[in-house]
Structures are given as C-alpha cells and as structure tokens.
Amino acid sequence: MILAIDVYYKEKDAKVVAVLFNPEDETPQSIVIDQISGIEDYVSGEFYKRELPCIESILQKVNLNDIEAVIIDGHIYVDDNGTFGLGGYTWESLDRKIPVIGVAKTSFFRNKKTVKEVYRGESKKPLYVSSIGIDLDFASNLIKNMKGEYRIPVILKELDRITKE
C-alpha cells in the first residue's frame, strides 16, 4: 500500500488528508482526515516547519505496518547538496523506515540533480519527483505509471480535491 498525504490551509487551521491505495488503483481504498488548529505562519525557506506537524499528526492515525511508501506534495531536498526539504524531514519522522516520494508541480532552481522530471499523458509540463529510502528511478516510474491520462495521477487529483472540499 501507498500512503499519499496533502494539507490545505485556511488562516491558522489545516485540513490534512491521507489516502491509502495500491499503485494500480484509481480510487483510494481508505481515506483519513484530520483537522488541526493553531498552525504556524509560513516562513520562506522553512515550509517544512509549518507542514511537518500536520503530516506527523495524520501519520499517527494510520497503521503504517503495510505502507510501502509515503507520497508528499513537495520535494525531498531543497538543493543538490542534500539539504532536506519537507520530504526529507518526513522520512526522518518515520525513523527512516518508510521511503518517501516527493511529487511537486514546480521545481527549485537549486535541486536539479535530486529530482527527475516525469511527463505524464500529453502534458508539456513535468511533475518533479524526488525520493529518499527508495531508488529515484523506481519512484519516478511508480508516479509515471499511476492511473490517469493527465499530468497529475487520478488518485493524487482526488486527494487534492478531498483536501480542498
């Protein structure tokens, strides 16, 4: 099973959603939702400090025993020197036991070597995939081969929709 997590903010509140699925699934097998109040303000260059507590909160509500990887909306590294971004800190919070795959819609100018551009469907815009605890080529192929004919895999699009509703 794969666990994908997304967070939506409204002022000082956050809605955190996790979906459990197999890579060949088009719909989640399970959905977990959490509401969190008192969220820290966004600080440029320290996004993980805002989002990581939300991710850690939802991880406590999921049985992680059968999870093969966690997908987050973001990057593993913020540069080519291995400086952790949200994904790296998520991996550490999982005691480095469960691989984390970052799927971002935008790139960083400093992490060109730590991401793979993945083109899906007929989109001219790539997804930027990074990983830790799992081979980057394997992670990129997993994202590339997920269901859906468009840039964003259908299950991740559904996760985004649930998060924002």
Q: pLDDT (tens digit, 9 = 90+) per residue, 49-71?
A: 889 999 999 999 999 999 999 99
Q: How far apart are CA 64 and CA 12, in angstroms?
A: 28
Q: Is the pTM of this model over 0.85?
A: yes
Fill in the DSSP letter of residue 84. B
On the question of pLDDT at 109 being above 80, the answer is no
Amino acid type, 93: S
Print the domain residue range for 151: 2-164
The mean pLDDT value of the chain amounts to: 94
Element (H, E) at 66: none
What confidence tier does 129 reach under pLDDT thresholds 50, 70, 90? very high
Q: In which order are the strands placed within the sheet that holds 127-132? A: 30-37, 13-21, 2-10, 69-72, 100-104, 127-132, 116-118
Structurally, the chain folds into a number of domains equal to 1
Do 148 and 157 contact (CB within 8 A), yes or no?
yes
Q: How far apart are CA 101 and CA 135, in angstroms?
A: 10
**pLDDT at site 48:** 84
Residue 138: which CATH number?
3.30.2170.10
